[in-house]
Structure 1
Amino acid sequence: MDTDALLEQVLDGRSISRGEALALINGVKVGTKEMYLLMHAADSLTRMTFDNRGEVHAQIGVNIGPCPKNCGFCVFGERHGLAPKPVELSPEEVVKRARTAQKEGANAIYLMTTADYDIDRFLSTGREVRNAIDVKMPLVANIGDFNTEEANELVDAGFTAVYHVVRLREGVDTEVDPEERLRSIAAAKAAELDISYCVEPIGPEHSSEEIMESMFRGRDLGVAIQATMRRIPIAGTPLFGNGQISEIEQAKVTAVARLAMKDIYAMGVHEPNAPSLLSGANMIYAETGSNPRDIAEDTREGRGRSVAACKRMLQEAGFKTFDGPAPSLQGWLRE
């Protein structure tokens, strides 16, 4: 494959195929000239498409405790014995943190729960948050699977989007049915909720084919946001012994994922890292509350970055930041 010619065609507006994406993942080696050409092409595409705009999306982990889905990479898995006793933020505290994130300049607000969290309780808290923040601020649900009725209830409660993913080796490394994940995404789309998606959680054991298929599942689903996330190995979780990919390896995957997505409204990377912000990503996440990659009860005392820290990171990478609602998750499917 002529990498130079392919990347020139991408910058001229052509989407890459599955075969080309796979060839880039397999053929481009970290540290080579081709690697930096790949990074440059993805970075250029993002900066041109989004007018050099960077976004910070703030996530609030609403509860922490043992989860029956037992994902092999998550500290909440009840069989792993790592999750502390159940703790739940009050609706008032969630509202307070959402207001703080908005005041600090966040561009979207996410509410995250464990997979077994009660949907009615979540909807009630979501309504309170919706009433407390800018009416145009994207409000995103990161929850367990849901049906069509519940997707419509999310809309009625003021949510504009969901973060929902068929993760790498879903159903193998997790006790989650991948078909159920797809049904939830279909329900969200039917309710005209935007979809935030991610190739995750990437580890050294995942094949190029698995990674590529995850990228193109997002493209086939017509998601609003694509992202990549590397797995954070937590001692005591079943996948800890598999290790971790490097940030520069994640940057290569980020670049290919960006080139695979012709129509997209932001490209995320998690956890935030500088190489990926030079490889097509322009969106990163601030976190508070619970975090499936952190044994701290409140990740703002652990791994989680603040909105201000995320803005500085984007600025260091040469992106323009802004305060207020993101254009990337404001109901573009309804336009």
Structure 2
Amino acid sequence: MSRTRTVYLYGSVFLIRADLELRIPKFSERKSSSLQINDDIYEILRRSLAGYQISRSECLRLMEIENGSPDMYHLFFVANRLTHEKFNGSGEVHAQVGIDFASCPRKCLFCVFGSASSEHLELSKEEVVSRAKLFEEGGADAIYLMTTAGFDFDRYLDIGGAVREAVSPRMPLVANIDDFGPSEAQELVDEGFTATYHVVRLREGRDTEIKPETRIATIKNASRAGLKIFFCVEPVGPEHTSEEIVDLMFLGRELGVAFSGAMRRTSVPGTPLQRYGEIRWIELAKIVAVTRLVMGDSVAAHCTHEPNLPSLMAGANLVWAETGPNPRDICPDTSRRGGRGLTVQECKSLLWEAGFKTGRSQDLQHRHQE
């Protein structure tokens, strides 16, 4: 059996196998035989550090890891090490401007816009431009423009073009909108968009009125037009199985996305899925870590949402600041008092607390231009 070390870290005790070469600060040591990492978990993590692509069955095994166990801390360390080595210890803050608060025709059961409401709010083009510029001045690494599915596409292009002219030409501009075809994808590129945030959500077609095939078709349309694909395993709730979650991990890799990660579902008051509640941050961190191992060296970043420290110590290095309408917030402007949205500086502070470098946006943007 391999030699092991008992390590006390952040108030927890766990054993480190010497041949795994986990470079963790040693605060104190003592002999123990009850805290050793499981051999099968060790082998999966060892292979991941060596650059091997893990299998679906191995991912399912990692999803079985008990929260708070020595295996969990080993998993977190390996995912975090992969991220710090791949991205040179740099964190990213992407910033989203929500444009409209309105009843959405897609009726997603987890979204505040999916609930029938007569309330309607829409930011003017000038206001969207102003908020995008404030995000850039604050040091954001990418600007997202989000709308509900019913928003007029031509008006969206007009707003996007105005934002493109107002911010640096090096600033990634990301579309977060309804599904679209090949011609719309090309129009987005022509207007200066560089990427789209588009995912197949958990239980797509059951908890939403969109077929998974439609979402995948949009992703492929965007990719063919030259848009980068920003992806995430979301929105994760307590009712979702490990099999469902792992399926989306591998779908992201198969689609060749620029980044992946994981987001937990917010229990939004008044939404049909509120009754299920939320998973804990530590559970989300485990999903973030496993997803990081799945994506390997194929990505330019690894995300978590909403911003949280456990995930930033388990392989994530990208979080979002938000303003305007937010699908997880009953407040029409998520950046106002009482809203859920964080500022760019608040996000940078979280990244700093987790040990990441958070320079001005231009320090990191080159990765998105490659």
Q: Normalising TM by the smaller chain, what interval?
A: over 0.9
2:35 maps to what in 1?
none
Matched, 1:330 2:368: yes
Instruction: State the secondary structure of the residue aligned to 1:56.
Output: strand
Structure with bigger RCO (C-alpha 8 Å, 6+ apart): 1
Matched to 2:246, the amino acid is M
2:51 maps to what in 1?
13
Counterpart among 317, 325, 349 of residue 312 in structure 1: 349
Whole-angstrom CA distance in 2 between matches of 1:10 and 1:177? 33
Map 1:168-247 onto structure 2 (within 5 A). 168-247=202-281
Whole-angstrom CA distance in 2 between matches of 1:138 and 1:329? 10
Matched, 1:296 2:334: no
Map 1:233-312 onto structure 2 (within 5 A). 233-262=267-296, 263-301=298-336, 302-312=339-349
Matched, 1:57 2:57: no
| 223 and 21 in structure 1: CA distance in 2 versus 1, 3 angstrom threshold | same
Whole-angstrom CA distance in 2 between matches of 1:225 and 1:96? 27
Moved over 2 A (4+): 325-332
The CA deviation at 1:323 is: 1.0
Whole-angstrom CA distance in 2 between matches of 1:154 and 1:300? 27
Q: Give the conservation status (yes or no) of the 8 Å contact 2:300–2:368.
A: no
Matched to 1:229, the amino acid is M
Whole-angstrom CA distance in 2 between matches of 1:317 and 1:190? 36
Whole-angstrom CA distance in 1 between matches of 2:295 and 2:304? 14
Whole-angstrom CA distance in 2 between matches of 1:215 and 1:329? 22
Deviations 1:257-306 (A, max 9, x none): 00000211000000011000000000000000000000111000200000
| 7 and 67 in structure 1: CA distance in 2 versus 1, 3 angstrom threshold | same
Matched to 2:240, the amino acid is H
Matched, 1:24 2:62: yes
Please, what is the CA RMSD of the aligned residues? 1.1
Matched, 1:46 2:83: yes
Q: Give the conservation status (yes or no) of the 8 Å contact 2:262–2:284.
A: yes
1:162 maps to what in 2?
196
Instruction: State the secondary structure of the residue aligned to 1:149.
Output: helix
| Stretches of structure 2 lacking an aligned partner (at least 5 in a row) | 1-38
Whole-angstrom CA distance in 1 between matches of 2:57 and 2:255? 19
The CA deviation at 1:330 is: 2.5
2:122 maps to what in 1?
88
| 328 and 201 in structure 1: CA distance in 2 versus 1, 3 angstrom threshold | farther
The CA deviation at 1:190 is: 0.4
Whole-angstrom CA distance in 2 between matches of 1:207 and 1:330? 33
Whole-angstrom CA distance in 1 between matches of 2:367 and 2:46? 29
Instruction: State the secondary structure of the residue aligned to 1:31.
Output: coil
Whole-angstrom CA distance in 2 between matches of 1:242 and 1:230? 12
| Stretches of structure 1 lacking an aligned partner (at least 5 in a row) | none
Deviations 1:37-66 (A, max 9, x none): 000000000000000000000000011111
Matched to 2:63, the amino acid is I
| 84 and 8 in structure 1: CA distance in 2 versus 1, 3 angstrom threshold | farther
The CA deviation at 1:84 is: 5.6
Instruction: State the secondary structure of the residue aligned to 2:263.
Output: strand
Matched to 1:278, the amino acid is M
TM-score, with length taken from structure 2? 0.87
The CA deviation at 1:68 is: 1.2
Matched to 2:262, the amino acid is T
The CA deviation at 1:313 is: 0.6
Q: Which moved more, 1:83-92 or 1:94-103?
A: 83-92
2:74 maps to what in 1?
37
Whole-angstrom CA distance in 2 between matches of 1:93 and 1:248? 37
Map 1:95-134 onto structure 2 (within 5 A). 95-134=129-168
Whole-angstrom CA distance in 2 between matches of 1:130 and 1:314? 27
Whole-angstrom CA distance in 2 between matches of 1:226 and 1:329? 15
The CA deviation at 1:4 is: 1.2
| 133 and 75 in structure 1: CA distance in 2 versus 1, 3 angstrom threshold | same
